[in-house]
Structure 1
Amino acid sequence: MRRRVAHCLFVLFVAVATGYPSRRSAVDLDATPRTTIIYNELSDIPRFSGHALNYTTLLLEDEKGILYVGARGAIFSLNSSNIADGSQRKIQWEASPEKQKDCLQKGKNNKTECFNHVRLLQRLNSTHLYACGTYAFHPLCAAIDADKFTLPLHLEEGRERCPYDPARGYTGLIVDGGLYTATRYEFRSLPDIRRNLHQRPLKTEESPVHWLNDAEFVASVLVRESVGSPAGDDDKIYYFFMEQAGEEGASFGQTQVARVARVCKNDLGGKKILQRKWTSFLKARLACYIPYYEVLKGVYSLDGGSWPSTVFYATFTLSAQWRSMEASAVCQYNISELQRAFDGPYMEYQDTTRKWTRYDGDVPDPRPGSCITDRFRENGYNSSQDLPNNVLDFVKQRPLMFEEVKPVRGEPLLVKKNVLYTALVADRVPALDGQQYNVLFLGTGDGWLHKGVVVGSVVHIVEEMQVFRAPQPVETLVVSKAQRSIYVGAASGVLQLPLASCARYTTCYDCILARDPYCAWDGKGCREVAGAADRTRLTQDVQHGTDGCWNSSAQAPPTQRNRTALQGDDVLLTCNQRSNLARAAWLLNGTVELAEGQGPFRVGVDGLLVMNALPEHSGQYRCYGEESGLRSLMATYALTVLPEQPKESRAMAPSHSPQQATADGKFIYISVITVLGGLCLVLGVVLFYVACLQRRKGRYVLGDPRIVELQTVSANHPGKGQDDGCLQIIPGEAPTAASLARETPLAVPPPPPPPLPAEFTNGLSTLPSTLRKMNGARYVLLQQQEEPSASSLHNASFAQELSKILEKRKHTQLVEKLDESSV
């Protein structure tokens, strides 16, 4: 009952979310990836694994062609053009045995925790990198010479710069020489946002009200708001995290909310109040409107060349209260929406209710929590240390804003059921229509990567790729413009994928319908737009995916395949769709469109089943993939259904077909004796006598007591209950040697029955167990089920119905070769 209620709430969540009604249903938002690429199709992808674990901290220096990787106990320098070329350099940085022993004495896990997990890897200056690691719960940091790529002799204490726990949420940036980090730095400490490597170290305030309430940090982003600012504003660092909710009116059971906080880069702290503390710290709720149960997982920012165009993309999942189902959402936020929230009303903490409520009192001037601007300087406030005490005291008491940061259009861009998004990165791509499109790369918790393009208010998922064979979370994603690659970091290693694999689209329709802004059709093939010398011949339609293919060169016709079957047999014509969004449409003899339930035809996603085929069902069958109003020819069959053979002709035919395999036992044994022509006549008589004797007893001696039954596999076989000589192996216990000696002293076990022919005539092949792959899962087409009633057949799905029909008729699986068959 609880799961049913949870499912209903999820289906309706967009329409009822916090007073902001959605214009679309959850079903519309649950996008399906257009194409699915499994792991085996990515065999030529460069992968790197250097005898370490947890390759989760990536630093790309595109202009130098280097990808730095921080792992457990090691730092690597890889060639970003090909990370698997063997030219990597390595720094071994393991925790010392003494620190590992101390870690074990603290009760930590010696399989996962008591190691040096590199959590920070940033460029410090033109010559050095800066790295920090957990070092078996005793964090250390190091300034590394990038050219020598060796650890320095002196390592720095990292307790205020790096988390002690490798599982703790953490984010860190080096901005103009200052290290800005956020995490829980010590076991008993509160979460904190700090600035180090700076002449004015700062941290967040702990009392009288906690600025951070058990926060778990996800990401931090620098926005250069001082560049071209008419107000003389300061650069800002935005922090994204989860924390315990404390607002008045929070929904029942709501324990955590997503937040965004900001600080000013040039904040120097207060002079008397908030000494060595942030004076510009403010925070607001980040809403995505998955009602009340959203957990922030990843954040990435893009700008169109100037900071006012900055947008943030954030991924959310359902919280622990909803373990009965999985779902993820992606929301987009404009920088202007963040500014609106931070310029709005404040909230204050009520000691009596222990809740935050809206503050409606007077706000001092200059505005608390603001960066120093030209207006401040005109009034004599040249730094935060010049701010009045009442301003500093106000922001100390009221760091939480009343307004929420709302997503663009007030709803998610994307909702995906049965998927947990764990990492996010974005790229801005100019298309042939003159627009720029944001392409999102979303890593999942089971080792898949989704690539989607933002078109208007939705995300069209171009493809999904299984990037790791063993399911594992995708931890880190980095995009390289120079290499036109995306790097994926996870526990087992790092891999390098192209931003686009345009050659995978073999036809014009496939290329245009993909709506991939990286790809376009040039008349002969699908090409990368970025590498094209002449773009005037390229065709692309990212907005709709329908325009651009006008002539016959758009697709070469598929080769016609022949099928021959006997009257009364079932015939399966397969038609594999390259797109998960395509619908199969079948035409008979070029004019008659076949529909589900039309006579003997059953139309499925990947095939057409002709039941009880008759000679009038012979003809040409064409399968089309229909998508976005376009039809693409996928397969052509010429089906010939032969009339049923008379019994006399079947009896005279050589015993090489399944139908003839059911002729009476005497004929089969005579045939076997003929093949074994070397046996003497006396032995043949004895074998014939034993066979007849055992047939009358209803038993067949196999020497193996396992239950086996071989029945007819043809629809032409007469019904049960007729003594027509059909071969049957009936379960029974094997006689002992003594009993055989008593019954027939000279009896010899008869030869095993001849094997079934390898090929049937109805066109069915050995059906694959998976004919549709979607969203990182395998959907089984055929499965054994109870025999259905006749009334339920018309309501069953194609896959289930096909399975039931084949079970009912006792057909066995047929050969792999589909192209030709004969009677």
Structure 2
Amino acid sequence: MMKSHLPTCVLVLLAILNAGYSSKRSSVDLDATPRLTVTNNELSDGRFFGANVKNYSTLLLEDEKGILYVGARGAIFSLNASDISHRLRKTIHWEVNPEKNQDCVNKGKNNQTECYNHIRLLQTFNETHLYVCGTNAFSPQCGFIDARTFSFSSNIDDGKEKCPYDPATGYTGLIIDGDLYTATRYGFQYLPDIRRTLYQYTLRTEDSPLHWLNDAEFVSSAFVRESLNVAVGDDDKIYYFFNERVVEESSSFLDKTQVASVARVCKSDMGGKKILQKKWTSFLKARLVCSMPYYETLKALYTLDLGSWNTTIFYGAFVLQWRNMEASAVCQYSISDIQKVFDGPYMEYQDSSRKWTRYDGDIPKPRPGSCVTDDIRSSGVNTSQDLPNNVLDFVKLHPLMYKKVKPLGDQPLLMKKSVLYTRIAVDRVTALDNKQYDVLFIGTGDGWVHKVVVTKTTVYIVEEIQVFKKPQPVENLVISKRQDSLYVGSQSGVLQISLSGCHRYTSCYDCILARNPYCGWDGKICREIVTSEDRVQMTQDMENGNGGCLNSTAEDPLIKQRTVLKGDDVLLQCELKSNLAKPQWLVNNTDPLDENEINFRVGNDGLLIMDTQLEHGGEYSCYSEENGLQSLVALYTLNVWLKLNPTSVPTPVVQLPTPISHSSSKLEFVYISVITILGGLCLVLSVVLMYVSCHQKRKGRYAMGSCRSNNVELQTVSNNFKDKSEDINNYSDGCLQIIPGEAPTLSPKRGNPPPPPPPPPLPSEFTNGIATLPNMLRKMNGNSYMLLRQNEEASSPLYNSFTEELSKILEKRKHTVLLDKLDESSV
């Protein structure tokens, strides 16, 4: 089996990534490039909520009340849905007590992540109460919250049958008409299970002789009211989406592979009377295929409820992995296609061959796995407990359907390489053309959200938004049409951003090219369609994305001057806002740029002109070209000089306290005045420096502050004098002694150089003695000075010999000229 599947999957992978999944869409659509990239710093409309906890992954929106409930680690928050950053919020602290925490640690669990109370379920129970469950350090608990006071209204109950013990285990839960429908692995020794608890009959899946679920990891669940407006008296159903280990293949390679699946149960199921007691009698499951069976994993699913059950659409986000390649795909499924698969042939397990094959035998009546309808009731079966034994036996042994659920169009809507999709939310929007378009918000594993628009002919990414500056997975997405907001949950907090993002489009071209169904151009700005009072005057082109604008309506950019010497390189920047746009350059407003010329290099960031020649001077215009539309982005005037013109170098102008005249004579007077003032300052400084130099040469001493002898001698020592430094600790004159390294000498014919100025004051961290010597080099008039030591007295006998030696050397150096360049080896 491995040999038969592997080449096929390789071919499928190559077809997807190189040529597209089918001929209906091009590979560009399947690996679409986001038109705009919005970084976190550009999210001017973003509103963030975060407290002193982590893991804000459970969100519940009550849109009519304007409340967003957030379940985090050890806390539950009630936030203002219009502005989640508002300080007026309510908090319930629900942390693990020290005894439970210690028990968790003793069991070998991680005290940094696992031994906390992670909120996994937060659902509306009725108009006044919420129901919440938490892991509670591997000892789950559940309870009711009074929404009016936002506090627990009763004692906390045991949640081991309702909530997973592990915060990392896949889990989904719904409260429907007072009953709790959950799916997870409820304990370490439990098998994955789908359960119904609380008030009605408690049901679960069958685990023998054939497991209905095989290492299932649950992703999502959906409630579909199929009983509404149906003449046959059908029942409402709950659909579960998960990944599980392959059972219908016998290959050892595929035994370790997970496949995406969908399961279904009936809401009114009461279990069997003798067979399948307290077990589902309506459980059926089928494989869910997106693009690469056996190489794809379902990561997220969203149910788009369009008002009628038979129009329900499911959007699934998958991760494709093959060898070292990773990609993501999004597929669309209709509930009618899922229903057809559940009405089709079954599979059964053959003990002889130990394989699952198609079942072609007789099917008992009523059809196994179906809900009780009016037709079944007419035969005397009013509930599932009235079903015949042969029907229940068949359900027990045939949970898997033969056909697979394929996506609409038999292909994925979107394919992205090197991207890990983690969450998805969908909104259906009515555009100006009165057509409806689905807008997908897809979270990634590194803190981005892709906004994707689906039309009948194409799928494109309007923008990619960096919702979190620090890379982290997007763990939840909730849409509020009333607040025009998308709420994004993560480990660090919750971010609220605009659904539409119309303010990011600054011109008519930009607004039209975006093809954002939320936005239209009203003649002045790009704004939301639903807030416009006169939609007739608005412009939008969802089908083609390039019609409706008479011109770019954007202000022409300012002309920038660029001056360059002949033979040098120059870059004329042209930043394109859209990732789909291409730069088009015109020279002198008429001639297209010859991109084949060896001197020109056109990139996404601008035009690079290398080895600039005189003929390259002129005017350069950069246009952004996208989807047949052009808009001016940058204007340059390039001047090429043969050599540097001194008169063209700008001279700093000193503001004089006299009125500025525009006549040339007065300007000359100002320049002459400035030059005279600067010359006078230079003359004064030169006289002062000469005076100081002569004075120090005569005096030979520098005054110090807190030194006991009140003076410090500037002494010069030869590099050959090495032994004296060993007894440096004997100096105790209390003065700062500075010894320079000796520099090479020049010809003795030149005059003596002026004495070096005093060294600059040293930083406090470098005044700790010998230990800092390597870091204390200072350059002064060609010499390098080191701080050796600060002593209190100079009473050591060695100090006298040291002074005599220095005096001799200084006398000798009177006939020596120091070089300007430091000889650092003498230090």
The answer as to whether partners of 1:595 and 1:603 remain within 8 angstroms in 2 is: no
Secondary structure, counterpart of 1:547 in structure 2: coil
Deviation by residue 1:682-715 (Cα, 9 ceiling, x = unmatched): 999xxxx999889xxxxxx9xxxxxxxxxxxxxx
Q: Mean alpha-carbon deviation: is it higher for 736-745 or for 411-420?
A: 736-745
Distance 2:313 2:684 in 1: 80
Q: Specify the alignment match of 2:204 in structure 1.
A: 203
Secondary structure, counterpart of 1:50 in structure 2: coil
Secondary structure, counterpart of 2:625 in structure 1: strand
Using the TM superposition, give the Cα deviation of residue 744 of structure 1 relative to its aligned residue in structure 2, in angstroms: 8.3
Using the TM superposition, give the Cα deviation of residue 375 of structure 1 relative to its aligned residue in structure 2, in angstroms: 1.4
The answer as to whether partners of 1:242 and 1:257 remain within 8 angstroms in 2 is: yes
Q: Specify the alignment match of 2:391 in structure 1.
A: 391
Q: Specify the alignment match of 2:588 in structure 1.
A: 589
The equivalences for 1:735-774 within 5 A come to 747=817, 750=820
Q: Specify the alignment match of 1:463 in structure 2.
A: 463
Give the gaps of 5 or more residues in structure 1: 658-672, 695-700, 702-732, 753-823
Using the TM superposition, give the Cα deviation of residue 495 of structure 1 relative to its aligned residue in structure 2, in angstroms: 1.3
Distance 1:619 1:399 in 2: 76
The answer as to whether partners of 1:575 and 1:634 remain within 8 angstroms in 2 is: yes
The equivalences for 1:258-297 within 5 A come to 258-297=260-299
1:675 to 1:570, Cα distance in 2 relative to 1, 3 A: farther
Q: Specify the alignment match of 1:774 in structure 2.
A: none
Secondary structure, counterpart of 1:516 in structure 2: coil
The answer as to whether partners of 1:14 and 1:25 remain within 8 angstroms in 2 is: no
The equivalences for 1:276-675 within 5 A come to 276-319=278-321, 322=323, 324-456=324-456, 458-551=458-551, 554-644=553-643
Q: Specify the alignment match of 1:109 in structure 2.
A: 110
Distance 2:231 2:152 in 1: 45
Using the TM superposition, give the Cα deviation of residue 680 of structure 1 relative to its aligned residue in structure 2, in angstroms: 5.1
1:563 to 1:157, Cα distance in 2 relative to 1, 3 A: same
The answer as to whether partners of 2:18 and 2:27 remain within 8 angstroms in 1 is: no
Using the TM superposition, give the Cα deviation of residue 22 of structure 1 relative to its aligned residue in structure 2, in angstroms: 5.5
1:734 to 1:163, Cα distance in 2 relative to 1, 3 A: farther
1:379 to 1:653, Cα distance in 2 relative to 1, 3 A: closer
Secondary structure, counterpart of 2:419 in structure 1: coil
Using the TM superposition, give the Cα deviation of residue 106 of structure 1 relative to its aligned residue in structure 2, in angstroms: 1.2
The answer as to whether partners of 1:131 and 1:141 remain within 8 angstroms in 2 is: yes
Using the TM superposition, give the Cα deviation of residue 589 of structure 1 relative to its aligned residue in structure 2, in angstroms: 1.2
Deviation by residue 1:445-475 (Cα, 9 ceiling, x = unmatched): 1111111111225421111111112111110
Distance 1:455 1:740 in 2: 91
Q: Specify the alignment match of 2:657 in structure 1.
A: none
Q: Which amino acid aligns with 1:278?
A: W
The answer as to whether partners of 1:244 and 1:255 remain within 8 angstroms in 2 is: yes
Secondary structure, counterpart of 1:326 in structure 2: strand
Q: Mean alpha-carbon deviation: is it higher for 563-572 or for 442-451?
A: 563-572
Distance 1:82 1:440 in 2: 23
Q: Which amino acid aligns with 1:224?
A: R
Deviation by residue 1:313-363 (Cα, 9 ceiling, x = unmatched): 0001124x64x2331110111111111111111001123443321111111
Distance 1:740 1:598 in 2: 67
1:736 to 1:258, Cα distance in 2 relative to 1, 3 A: same
The answer as to whether partners of 1:13 and 1:26 remain within 8 angstroms in 2 is: no
Distance 1:49 1:508 in 2: 37
Secondary structure, counterpart of 1:196 in structure 2: strand
Using the TM superposition, give the Cα deviation of residue 620 of structure 1 relative to its aligned residue in structure 2, in angstroms: 1.2
Distance 1:542 1:740 in 2: 89
Q: Which amino acid aligns with 1:434?
A: N
1:285 to 1:336, Cα distance in 2 relative to 1, 3 A: same
Q: Mean alpha-carbon deviation: is it higher for 447-456 or for 7-16?
A: 7-16
The answer as to whether partners of 2:745 and 2:818 remain within 8 angstroms in 1 is: no
Secondary structure, counterpart of 2:64 in structure 1: helix
Deviation by residue 1:100-136 (Cα, 9 ceiling, x = unmatched): 1211121111111111111000011122110011111
The answer as to whether partners of 2:746 and 2:816 remain within 8 angstroms in 1 is: no
Using the TM superposition, give the Cα deviation of residue 287 of structure 1 relative to its aligned residue in structure 2, in angstroms: 0.4
Distance 2:811 2:58 in 1: 77
Distance 1:734 1:406 in 2: 82
The answer as to whether partners of 1:10 and 1:26 remain within 8 angstroms in 2 is: no
Distance 1:734 1:24 in 2: 75
Distance 2:397 2:9 in 1: 41
Using the TM superposition, give the Cα deviation of residue 654 of structure 1 relative to its aligned residue in structure 2, in angstroms: 9.4
The answer as to whether partners of 1:241 and 1:259 remain within 8 angstroms in 2 is: yes
1:22 to 1:246, Cα distance in 2 relative to 1, 3 A: farther
Secondary structure, counterpart of 1:416 in structure 2: strand
Secondary structure, counterpart of 2:533 in structure 1: coil
Q: Which amino acid aligns with 2:98?
A: P
Q: Specify the alignment match of 2:241 in structure 1.
A: 240
Distance 1:526 1:275 in 2: 61
The answer as to whether partners of 2:745 and 2:816 remain within 8 angstroms in 1 is: no
Q: Mean alpha-carbon deviation: is it higher for 233-242 or for 598-607?
A: 598-607
1:297 to 1:458, Cα distance in 2 relative to 1, 3 A: farther
Distance 1:568 1:8 in 2: 53
The answer as to whether partners of 1:248 and 1:357 remain within 8 angstroms in 2 is: no
1:280 to 1:378, Cα distance in 2 relative to 1, 3 A: same
The answer as to whether partners of 1:67 and 1:78 remain within 8 angstroms in 2 is: yes
The equivalences for 1:782-821 within 5 A come to none
The answer as to whether partners of 1:620 and 1:639 remain within 8 angstroms in 2 is: yes
Distance 2:540 2:651 in 1: 55
1:100 to 1:630, Cα distance in 2 relative to 1, 3 A: same
> Quick check: 1:146 aligned with 2:128?
no
1:89 to 1:642, Cα distance in 2 relative to 1, 3 A: same
Deviation by residue 1:413-437 (Cα, 9 ceiling, x = unmatched): 1111121111111111000111111
Give the gaps of 5 or more residues in structure 2: 1-6, 653-681, 695-742, 749-755, 757-781, 787-805, 823-827
Distance 1:748 1:585 in 2: 61
Distance 1:153 1:736 in 2: 79
Q: Which amino acid aligns with 1:40?
A: N
Distance 1:441 1:227 in 2: 29
Secondary structure, counterpart of 1:12 in structure 2: helix
Distance 1:22 1:291 in 2: 20
1:137 to 1:745, Cα distance in 2 relative to 1, 3 A: farther
Secondary structure, counterpart of 1:110 in structure 2: coil
Deviation by residue 1:655-690 (Cα, 9 ceiling, x = unmatched): 999xxxxxxxxxxxxxxx999744559999xxxx99
Q: Which amino acid aligns with 1:628?
A: N
Over the aligned positions, Cα root-mean-square deviation in angstroms equals 3.4
Q: Specify the alignment match of 2:737 in structure 1.
A: none
The answer as to whether partners of 1:14 and 1:411 remain within 8 angstroms in 2 is: no
Using the TM superposition, give the Cα deviation of residue 653 of structure 1 relative to its aligned residue in structure 2, in angstroms: 11
Secondary structure, counterpart of 1:513 in structure 2: helix
Secondary structure, counterpart of 2:151 in structure 1: coil
Q: Specify the alignment match of 1:719 in structure 2.
A: none
The answer as to whether partners of 2:488 and 2:496 remain within 8 angstroms in 1 is: yes
Using the TM superposition, give the Cα deviation of residue 309 of structure 1 relative to its aligned residue in structure 2, in angstroms: 1.2
Q: Specify the alignment match of 2:176 in structure 1.
A: 175
Q: Which amino acid aligns with 1:164?
A: Y
The answer as to whether partners of 2:259 and 2:293 remain within 8 angstroms in 1 is: no
Q: Specify the alignment match of 2:766 in structure 1.
A: none
The answer as to whether partners of 2:232 and 2:375 remain within 8 angstroms in 1 is: yes
Counterpart among 255, 258, 271 of residue 257 in structure 2: 255
